[in-house]
Structure 1
Amino acid sequence: MFIKSIVLCCGFLAVTSALNNVFVAKTGYKAQADNDNVQDVAKKLEHLETSKKFEDLLARMEHLEAREKSREKTYLREIKNLKRELLIQTRRTASFEIMVRRLSSKSPGNLNHEMDKTEETSNDRNGRIKSAKTPFREVMPASRIRRAENENPVAFFATLSQHLTHMGAHQPITFDNVVTNIGNAYNSHFGSFIAPVSGTYVFSATLFALLHNTYSAEIVKNGQTLTRMYVYGSDTVRDTTSQTIVLELQKGDDVSVHNINVDRPVHGDHYSTFAGFLLQEDFSSSAIVGK
């Protein structure tokens, strides 16, 4: 009986040891599997982080490329303006060189004769010396050099893109589509041109009629009517009219085209236009070069 008990105990211990070995083996396998899963997750997270960094890098490169393109456009525009200024300066220098050559071509005797005119004197009854009066315009050509061309280029051209309906009497026609505006003297919101410098200007206006509508317009300077235009539109005929005028303007003078009739439409669709440019700048009130 005692031997039997010992045998049973030994068998129990053997079974227990076997079960422990199986448990340890299973636990080790599970730990290995968990470790592999953790490594897979870490690799995926690392891959996602790398992809995000790459996307951020691409976005930054696109931003830098857009900024460089914007700077390039700005540089090209500045270069264009500098070229235009250089052309103006080159023409001005050439004009001055011509004037200097003309003055230098005069003989010293002629120059001295012109200077002697200012020193002529005459005696009065008391024996005192009195300087002779020399007209100012006689010494002007030899002593002063004036500008020979416009220093401030001014020109504009605008069209009416939309029909203007139910206009009031003497309401300005706002030619809203600005094609050219050198000098920025034309205001498309008010339809008016304000002279940036004094001088002689040329203006031109063309108006077109809608069907079944007839109206009149006027070119106005500082609120004063200069010329009038008439446009006729019937059931089958649409008329057009245009005028060109030459004005001497002072700096700040205003020129615009006004509607005359009440509740009359003006044809748009780029048929009606308004344009003007500086023909000759007035330097009479400006500083004189060489003075």
Structure 2
Amino acid sequence: MAVNIKFLFADVLVILLPLAIASDSTNIGTTNGLNEVGVLLNHLQTTEAVVQKLLRRVELLETRNEAQQQTIQNHQIRIEHLESRDIDQQQLILNLRSELVVEGQRTSSLERFRERIGKVACQSEDKKNRVSQTEKKPGKGLPTQTRKVVLNQTYTEENNPGDLKTKGYDLRKRIRRADNEKNIAFFATLTNHLEHVGVQQTFVFDHVVTNLGHSYNSYNGNFIIPVSGTYVFSATLVSEHHYSSHSHFTVNGQAISFMYVSGSEAGFDTTSQMIVVKLQKGDDVCIRNIDAHKSYLGGHYNTFSGFLLRQDVSETVVVGKK
């Protein structure tokens, strides 16, 4: 009986031992699987951290790229401004050269005029002497009074400055400014819509129809006064749909008159204004917006124009034709 129990126990061991070994193997496999999962999770976390760093770097690069693009745009705007100033400087040089030529002509004309006055003065002295001699000898030729009349008439016809008006010869018609012959006028319109215009932003009327004298700058919207005098300017402004805004004429950056469009109530609105101002050479005139984030209609509805009404003649003069 004891032997049978031993054999039964051995059989049980034979049956249970493989099961125990298999169970141990399963536990080891499970442990290994959990370790691999942990490793994968750690690797995933590391990958996510790397991805986050890359995303932050991409955002930084995008921000830097936007800043560089803005810098490039600012440089382009500055280049356009410098090109515009260069054009203005070239035009100023041309104007100065033309004025230099005019001054030379004026000097030459004045010299000729002075010589003629000197000759007339000498002739008047000679004729007075001849008249005196004739009065001493009234028996020869015409009577004394008749000789005086003839000599005075001859003297007048030879351009005596004191008697030019009596002969219908207006000396002022011969003395005039060469600059008065300048024709200065411009007219420009707005092609594209102006969206979200800033405070004190200048209206740039980019489509130039007329620019006699080349004093209006279509790059910055300014009109530079070429000669001193009285000028007439006019403007028409049309707001975008449901926009109300204020604007003004400016001379050298100072406001001299104001305009208002009430688009918020009427949908679209328009305003027009004309001004007459006396300006000096080198002054600049433009139209500027006052309120922030306003919009104006393009399509040639907005216009800006001006012309020289009368030049200031208080400066130098030149001798011209009758």
Relative to the length of structure 2, the TM-score reads 0.45
Structure with a larger share of its residues in helix = 2
Relative to the length of structure 1, the TM-score reads 0.50
